[in-house]
Amino acid sequence: MIDIHCHILPGVDDGAQTEKDSINMALSALEQGIHTIIATPHHKNGKYENDCETVKKQVAILQDLFVNENIPLTLLAGQEVRINGDVISDIRTGNILSLNETKYIFIEFASNHVPRYAKQMLFDIQVEGYIPVIVHPERNSDLIQNPDMLYKFVQNGALTQVTAASMIGRFGKAIQKFSYQLVEANLTHFIASDAHNTTTRGFCMKEAYQELSSRFDNETAYLFMENSQLLIDGQNVNKLEPEPIRKKKRFGLF
């Protein structure tokens, strides 16, 4: 299993704080059946800032530590990029690190807001030759209230990644329900942990895939697993035609 979103690098953001924390997270990942992780510290989010070279260096250091500790976990480099007005200039100057140096870039919205310029920014990222992957859309209050906004983003070429913990109800039933609506409407393409530690923000990947298989089928679960492999290989991922999320009828009325 591959985890494309994880805050395992020590001391760089709100994820692992020490090398011991990173080791504990690595051991937990192995127990889940994860063999490869993209380390995705925050790029710029108002509180943390991690440039490309620092991330690459920290990934190499942590990978060496895992080798020395006989931990058979492969680390790759990436960033979680909070959407901001400098994204395009940062791409052009090499200040943004794509996922495993492929054509895929993580884009994060604030939890309670999608900026008005998001549609244009997602388009501009694609003009630069990259594919934006919107992280944890199921936890964004604007998108929950207006899922048609996300439908249009995906229809225009963006991809999305749902958090494993969301799919098993760790963020509440409303977010869990929205996560499965995204799967049903072909509005999400990856499952990842967004793990920050081994306690309150753990991996939950095995449980999420079990839930996905039981609610849908094994083929759906396999498609999500395969997409993570295709992403790290820089290949085109599996995409089904997106659909708007339909509101359920109540009392015979919409």
pLDDT at 26: 98
pLDDT digits (tens, 9 = 90+) for 66-92: 999 999 999 999 999 999 999 999 999
Helix (H) or strand (E) holding 107: strand 104-108
pLDDT at 157: 98
pLDDT tier for residue 250 given thresholds of 50, 70 and 90: very low
Q: What is the mean pLDDT of the chain?
A: 95
pLDDT digits (tens, 9 = 90+) for 45-63: 778 888 899 999 999 999 9
Q: How far apart are CA 153 and CA 37, in angstroms?
A: 26
Give Cα separations from 201 to 48, 91, 99, 164, 207 (angstroms).
Answer: 18, 30, 21, 10, 14
Least confident of 43-52, 176-185, 212-221: 43-52
- Partner residues linked to 160 by β-bridges: 134
Say what the pTM is.
0.95
pLDDT at 248: 58
pLDDT digits (tens, 9 = 90+) for 142-153: 999 999 999 999
pLDDT at 48: 83
Place of tokens 């109800």: 169
End-to-end CA distance of the chain: give it in Å, rounded.
41
pLDDT digits (tens, 9 = 90+) for 179-194: 999 999 999 999 999 9
pLDDT at 100: 98
pLDDT tier for residue 254 given thresholds of 50, 70 and 90: very low
Q: Which two tokens stand for residue 47?
A: 């509180």
The count of C-alpha atoms lying within 13 angstroms of the C-alpha of 71, restricted to the half-sphere facing its C-beta, is 24
Q: How would CATH label the architecture of 2-232?
A: Alpha-Beta Barrel (3.20)
Mean pLDDT across the stretch 236-244?
Answer: 97
SS3 at position 203: coil
pLDDT at 251: 44
Q: How far apart are CA 59 and CA 249, in angstroms?
A: 49
SS3 at position 88: helix
Q: How far apart are CA 216 and CA 6, in angstroms?
A: 25
pLDDT at 246: 81
pLDDT at 47: 83
In this predicted structure, the answer to whether residue 27 has a pLDDT above a threshold of 90 is yes
